Structures are given as structure tokens and as C-alpha cells.
Amino acid sequence: MTIQEELQATISDMVQPGKGILAADESTPTITKRFQAVGIECNESTRRAYRQLLLTTPGVGEFIAGVILFEETLAQQADDGTPLPELARRAGIVPGIKVDKGLTALANAPGDKITQGLDGLAERLAGYKEQGARFAKWRAVYPIGPANPTALGIQTNAEVLARYAAICQEAGIVPIVEPEVLIDGDHGIAQSEAVVEAAQNEVFAALKRHRVRLEYMILKPSMVVPGKACATKASPEEVAERTVRILRRTVPAAVPSVNFLSGGLSPQEASANLNAMNAGYSNLPWLLSFSYARALQEPPMATWQGKAENIGAAQAAFIKRARLNGLAQRGQYQAAMEQD
């Protein structure tokens, strides 16, 4: 297979109606925080058991087409010795890998962050590919505040995302490009809309500059929502209207799929918002789907509690969220289904 055929095959496997992506790529500090919040001890063995639980959920491949793993998980094995990426593959799920190395302060842009991990990326990708990864993810963040994000932050994060994406494609790895506009703060939805537009505009300018082939990438953006502490809430219809408007302005039709992050929305909000986009707008050039971590995992993690006897109930909680988001991708989700 040529590199181009390889990229196309991965896109074809990952971009399917009624399916989305499971982000299970929490770094060790992040999964520690999430486990501790629900009283689960965090060590190599509980992380492995938990991710095995997700990947062995019966029927998961019906709603999940790709899974983003953390480096540690890529090398872990199930109880029977099967490598976890192989477990995903057998379930019909494409394994991928988070390749960024986290955030640091961006010099001369107080309050903004830049993502690290470009040095040695090509070499790391070759290793991840041998372990079964066919796509990658890189997360840039944009905090909203009185002076943030700065123009420098927006430009620099776009440049780094584009360099990452170009390096991935050269290696035959599909890049998920994730510009995350943070939900923290009391800003209104209009400010969020302006920042999402500015960030995505700059990202696509940089992708073009770096000759990234848009047909072989996936965008993982934030929905346009008000800040978490904003007194004025937004309906799913308003979120859908503003989010789709900005996607239309900023995302070329060549991009096959837009898979939203959940970013601190509740599982129900994340499903309702995605559904409003797919129910309210047709003939969009991209598939609109999900790439959720918290909105898919909060219920199963809280149900599991690290106990073997809870695995079945945790898997039921997980497949329920996967199914409801699969329906939201088709515009067929209804809030009443939460009671089923």
C-alpha cells in the first residue's frame, strides 16, 4: 500500500455513520485525578484493567470506530495476553495514540499555553505504528480570559498543530487535529464563538502552509458553548447553530469528519448538542460525530469503582453512552432515551 492508500483506508475505517471515537488517552496524571475522584486506586494494574473493560464491552464496535490510547496502554496486554491495541482491532475499532507531551507556558503570551512533543516525533511514530497505531492525536488549548488567547497563542498553536499533522501524514498516520477552546470561565457564548472561529481559521491557514492533505485528517474541535461559570446557559439548538456556522466559515469541505471533544460538558449535554447539529442541519460536507473522553467514560468509571464484580454494570453504562452518541451522530437521539 502507498502512504496515500494507507491514510485513505484508515479514514474509511474511522469515518462511518452512527459511529465515533472513544478518547481513552488520559495521561497518567489525568487518569489518576479521574480515578481518585470516584475512589479508584490508580496504578499500572488498575489502568490496564479499566481500559481492558472498555475495549471488551460487548458490541462496542457498533458505535465506536476508533480509540485513542495513551502510550502506556499501547504496550499493555489483556488478561489472556492479547495486546490491548489488538483487542481494539478485533472489536472493529482502529487503535490510535496521543502523541503530544502536554502543555507548557508560551513565552511572551501570559496565560496562553503551547503543546510540546514535536522533537523526535517522526521516530516515535514509527514505533507506535509497529505497535498497531494507525492514527494520532495532538491537543492544543486556548484559554478564554480578558486577554486570552493572544494572537501569538493562536498563531503558534496553529503552526505546531500543522507541523504535527504533516509529520503524521508522512508516516502514513492519520492526524486528529485538536484545537480545544477551554470551557473554564464566565464568558458568554458569543466570546466562545469568536475564539473558536479565530483558532480554527488560523489552524486551517497553517495546515495549508504545511501542505497537509485535508482529506486524510480529522478535526477535533470544541463546540461553541458558554463558559462553565456563565449565568446564561445555551440550548442545544443555539449551540448547534453557532457551532455549525463557525464550521462552515472555517473548515474546508475536503475534511471528511469533525469529531467533537466533550470538554467538561455532562454526558447528556454532549449527546444533546451533537444531536441538535445532526438533526438540524443536513447536507453538511463533513460527518459530525464525537471523540469524547469524559462524556463517554464518566458513568462507567463511577460504576466500576475498581471492582471485578462491577465490570458488567460498568460496561452497560459505557455501551449506553456509546449507543446514545451513535444515535446523536444520526440525529436520532432523544432526551427520553436517558431513562431506558
Interface stretch with ligand 13P, choices 38-46, 191-199, 201-209, 290-298 (CB under 6 A): 290-298
- Please indicate whether residue 98 is annotated as part of the active site: no
Is 294 among the residues that bind ligand 13P (CB under 6 A)? yes
CA 112 to CA 114: how far, in whole Å? 7
**Contact between residue 24 and residue 284 where contact means Cβ atoms under 8 Å apart:** no
Window 155 to 214, contacts with ligand 13P (CB under 6 A)? 178
Window 116 to 145, contacts with ligand 13P (CB under 6 A)? 139
The residue among 49 and 295 lying less far from ligand 13P, judged by its C-beta, is: 295
**45 Cβ contact partners less than 8 Å away, ≥ 6 residues apart:** none
Q: Which three cell numbers stand for residue 242?
A: 453557532
The residue among 6 and 269 lying less far from ligand 13P, judged by its C-beta, is: 269
Half-sphere exposure of 310 (CA within 13 A, CB side): 15
Nearest to 119 by CA among 82, 155, 164, 152: 164
The residue among 6 and 57 lying less far from ligand 13P, judged by its C-beta, is: 57
Question: Which of 217, 293, 314, 322 touches ligand 13P (CB under 6 A)?
Answer: 293
**147 Cβ contact partners less than 8 Å away, ≥ 6 residues apart:** 110, 111
Query: Which parts of the chain fold into alpha helices (H)?
Result: 3-14, 28-37, 44-55, 71-74, 84-90, 121-130, 151-170, 189-209, 236-250, 267-280, 294-304, 311-329
CA 258 to CA 260: how far, in whole Å? 6
Q: Minimum distance from CB of 67 to ligand 13P (Å)?
A: 11
Which member of 178, 180, 193, 197 is catalytic? 178
Q: Minimum distance from CB of 263 to ligand 13P (Å)?
A: 4
Is 23 among the residues that bind ligand 13P (CB under 6 A)? yes
Q: Minimum distance from CB of 264 to ligand 13P (Å)?
A: 7
The residue among 219 and 295 lying less far from ligand 13P, judged by its C-beta, is: 295
Which member of 6, 137, 220, 298 is catalytic? 220
How much is the CA Rg of the chain, to the nearest whole Å? 19
The residue among 8 and 299 lying less far from ligand 13P, judged by its C-beta, is: 299
Residue type (1 letter), 285: P
Question: Which of 234, 295, 317, 322 touches ligand 13P (CB under 6 A)?
Answer: 295
Interface stretch with ligand 13P, choices 33-41, 58-66, 286-294, 316-324 (CB under 6 A): 286-294
Interface stretch with ligand 13P, choices 3-11, 74-82, 185-193, 291-299 (CB under 6 A): 291-299
The residue among 6 and 273 lying less far from ligand 13P, judged by its C-beta, is: 273
- Please indicate whether residue 137 is annotated as part of the active site: no
**Contact between residue 13 and residue 319 where contact means Cβ atoms under 8 Å apart:** no
Window 234 to 263, contacts with ligand 13P (CB under 6 A)? 261-263
CA 261 to CA 318: how far, in whole Å? 17
**Contact between residue 260 and residue 277 where contact means Cβ atoms under 8 Å apart:** no
Nearest to 219 by CA among 248, 189, 188, 187: 248
Q: Which three cell numbers stand for residue 231?
A: 449565568
CA 170 to CA 126: how far, in whole Å? 11
Q: Minimum distance from CB of 81 to ligand 13P (Å)?
A: 28
The residue among 139 and 187 lying less far from ligand 13P, judged by its C-beta, is: 139
Q: Minimum distance from CB of 128 to ligand 13P (Å)?
A: 17
What is the size of the binding site for ligand 13P (CB under 6 A)? 10
Footprint on this chain of ligand 13P (rule: CB under 6 A) = 23, 139, 178, 261-263, 292-295
Which positions are annotated as active-site residues? 178, 220
